[in-house]
Amino acid sequence: MATPSEPHTDFSAILTSGMVPPENEGMFARDVDGRLVRVEKATAQDFDADVRLTIDGHEVVIRKAIPTKDSQGNILQSENGQPIPRFTTIYDAASLAFVKAPGDQHPILTLCHQEHLPPVGVCRICLVELVETSSRGTRRKLVPSCMQQIAEGMEVHTLQSQVDPGAALRVKTAAGVVAELLITDHLPRSDQPSFLSLAEAGRGNELAALAERLGLSQSRYGLRSLDRGLDNSSSMIAVDHNQCIMCGRCIRGCNWVKENRVIGRSGKGYSSRIAFDLDQPMAESSCVSCGECAVSCPTGALEFTPLFLENQESSVKKELASDLRDGQIVPPEELASIPLFQDIPFKFLQFNASSVVRRWLSPGDVLCKEGEYGSTAFVILKGSFRIFLSGARGAVITERSAGLSGFFGGLKTMLKRAGGAPHLSDVGAATLDEGQEIIRDVKDVILGEMTCMNSYPRSATVVANEESEVLEIRRNVLYMLQRNETSRRLLEKAYRERALVGQLRKIPFLSSLDEGARTLAAEFLKDRVDLVAVEPGQTIFEQGEIAKDLYVVKLGFVKVTQRYGQNDRVLNYLGPGNHFGEIGLLGSCGDLLKVHGNVGHVVSRRTATCSALDHVELVRLKGDDFVELLKGYPQLIEPLLSSALALLERDEQSQTRLESAGNQEFLDQGLYLAQSLLVLDLERCTRCDECTKACADTHDGVTRLIRDGLRFDKYLVASSCRSCMDPYCLVGCPVDAIHRSGDSLEIRIEDYCIGCGLCASNCPYGNINMHGFPKTELDPTTNKERPVFELIEGRRLPVVQQRATTCDLCASVDGNPSCVYACPHNAAFRMTGEQLLHSIITNSN
């Protein structure tokens, strides 16, 4: 690597002389007084503590802790709804300081580290030179930047440091030698024995790309002396142990991201390698083929098989053709060159090769229609689009209702219909008033991502305004964009600028302001609010806590419960557009409210517990900013106070009525979300099972419903897909084979389902089942599907492939699903959750 003309790397500054190893005590292990610091978990206070350090001579001031994020870039929250802090590392600090836009080169090289994974520091590629100056003198050492926490007064040098060229050279030489060791053993070789094949560099082999960046083209070391073998047992993923660099990304992907817990390390030292379960071949292990390991792998060690990729592509082509859609599948190589996608692992793009379709639109062409279910978003590459509400009537009003009729207070926005399709103008990305029209272009980056994320119907119609070009991306690609810090920043910026002001304008308590003031108030709030994601079941705040913030629901449903003695009771469910938390917050406004008298009832503590029912995204307004807002617009105070008092009073009254309905289970089971329940009237049902048989007959002999389930009074809710409003099952499918499209409620599972079982385990109601099907492939000569066979012990047997199945709302002769049609006793019905509740209450009265 080092040519004679290059300056000689001088390691004497960081190494002791001769044979003596350097001191092993960690850098910055002690405080300023020289005392060893016990490493505890980061606390919320660390979010506000500033740490000053220099990186390559630039002073950087960064918070001591940043929020922990999951693999989707969502901020993880503790049980009490606060973000979980983690200590900021040198790598994080360098990202924040030097990587501002997608495509910016990170000054620190990495291999085993990925932002969304807990760091392990084993590849030693991300080492930086750290200088510690204290009363005990100055120490220098190479440390893994992915693990070393930042500390006050740190001096960091990367391989780009111009203020300390000696350090930069040491970092570069160290990374160079480590990379050279890796390429010697783990890059596939071309025919020339000492030269390494770098052809892989553009195709996602991060090791080859790293070698290229470091200017390595050959190795000075002896060839690999061990053949660690291949594992071709899986038809989806090929394992080449010789290319494995033991970075542990697949292990963390399998255990930490997916919690499948199949992959681990086996053996010791030079011969160690990854292993599935008890070192079984992949196909014989408990692997569910979710693909996470291959997507995580930085080398050719875990690759999707060509057969698998071909099959995926041909099924998408088939789907495109059957949907009569135009468009061109964008190959992963091309996608990788677009800045927004640049930091996405190549193998993910490859895995989802067919998830991105390029579409060209002429002026007037419709990109999507209001009310359609769509599981895709659109990245605007060229041109501009007009966005408007298609129906002229029935614009959605977000209002809070009282009493039992307001049982679904928050749902109200969802269920009011305009022109047949749910009207969601204040939910999605576009926030429009009736008759209003807005233009979006390349600067807005993306369109339709809200619908894509939450599986709600499209909130507006989008039509090309000129010759335009978009990339239509699936939900899983959008998720991946959110995994990546820089892409995520772009998306969040777009959201803040495009949707947030509109959404804030619609907060009901601002309705007492006139149009102009409301816009000003929303602008005031725009830069002050946080965007927060809450996982199902997590508490946002607890009854009795000191109130700090006010929230607006952006996505999902929030459950409001109150404790009475030993029991919790549900007060309300709040859907998108609703706000909550203002009652407690008003109580803490103190002096501001005194003039209005009658604050006796209003307390500064939370009067109820709020928790997430499903995946919830919130806009959080901090208490201080809320007070500022009220100071600026005192006319808001009076209506807020009276509505708060009314709510408190209503809660008292409604308690008894709620209890008499006695339908806690109805709520707990999430039936309020259901849009199409299969309900059997047990007074009429003779248990003849014709419904089950009809279902099986319609679906290749496999029934998709089970005539058993929850009972309410005389009604049985059978185990069959309920077509939830926000289906959990859609979340996380690695190949996006499960989705909803068009204006059908149906949850569709495509033929290219890989059988990983995630949707089945996601469905809280057990309504998705895994079944073995004979595997088929496209016969190129006849262009028809034919079964696939394999030879097992000399016998030619059909290959059985696991696939998920669920109710597809099949339409039979009379337009009803076959189960309903088949019932000879008129005992089977399809109804929404609300209709069912209504029936139950009517019946019990």
- Can you give the binding site for other proteins, defined by CB under 8 A? 2, 9, 11, 14-29, 35-39, 121-125, 127, 142, 144, 147, 170, 173-174, 177-178, 181-182, 184-185, 220-222, 225, 245-246, 255, 261-272, 275-279, 286
The smaller minimum CB distance to other proteins, of residues 222 and 794, is found at 222
The smaller minimum CB distance to other proteins, of residues 249 and 704, is found at 249
Secondary structure (3-state) at 526: helix
Which residue in 569, 537, 572 sits closest to 662, CA to CA? 569
Which residue in 801, 771, 802 sits closest to 789, CA to CA? 801
The smaller minimum CB distance to other proteins, of residues 33 and 514, is found at 33
The smaller minimum CB distance to other proteins, of residues 22 and 394, is found at 22
CB of 246 to other proteins, least distance (A): 7
CB of 147 to other proteins, least distance (A): 6
83 beta partners: 77
The smaller minimum CB distance to other proteins, of residues 217 and 271, is found at 271
CB of 70 to other proteins, least distance (A): 20
CB of 19 to other proteins, least distance (A): 5
The smaller minimum CB distance to other proteins, of residues 269 and 565, is found at 269
CB of 267 to other proteins, least distance (A): 5
Those residues whose C-beta lies under 8 Å from the C-beta of residue 204, and which sit 6 or more positions away, are: 332, 336, 345, 346, 347, 349, 350
CB of 226 to other proteins, least distance (A): 9
Cβ burial of 643 (10 Å; 0-12, 13-18, 19+) is middle
The smaller minimum CB distance to other proteins, of residues 21 and 306, is found at 21
Q: Tell me the C-alpha to C-alpha distance, in Å, between residue 600 and each of 543, 604, 619, 641.
A: 18, 11, 29, 11
The smaller minimum CB distance to other proteins, of residues 169 and 494, is found at 169
CB of 265 to other proteins, least distance (A): 5
CB of 427 to other proteins, least distance (A): 41
CB of 142 to other proteins, least distance (A): 5
Which residue in 578, 830, 533 sits closest to 705, CA to CA? 830
Strands 784-787 and 789-792: unpaired
CB of 326 to other proteins, least distance (A): 46
Contact 46, 85 (CB under 8 A): yes
Those residues whose C-beta lies under 8 Å from the C-beta of residue 624, and which sit 6 or more positions away, are: none
Give the total residue count for the chain.
Answer: 845
The smaller minimum CB distance to other proteins, of residues 213 and 605, is found at 213
CB of 257 to other proteins, least distance (A): 15
719 beta partners: 706
Backbone dihedral angles phi then psi of residue 668, each to the nearest 5 degrees: -60, -35
Which residue in 590, 555, 591 sits closest to 575, CA to CA? 555
Cα separation, 797 vs 678, whole angstroms: 38
Those residues whose C-beta lies under 8 Å from the C-beta of residue 803, and which sit 6 or more positions away, are: 749, 751, 753, 755, 770, 771, 772, 773
With vertex at residue 710, the alpha carbon angle to CA 705 and CA 714, rounded to the nearest 5 degrees, is 105
The smaller minimum CB distance to other proteins, of residues 208 and 521, is found at 208
Number of helices (H), then strands (E), in the chain:
23, 43
Which uninterrupted H or E stretch holds 450? helix 449-454
The smaller minimum CB distance to other proteins, of residues 129 and 617, is found at 129
Cα separation, 177 vs 187, whole angstroms: 15
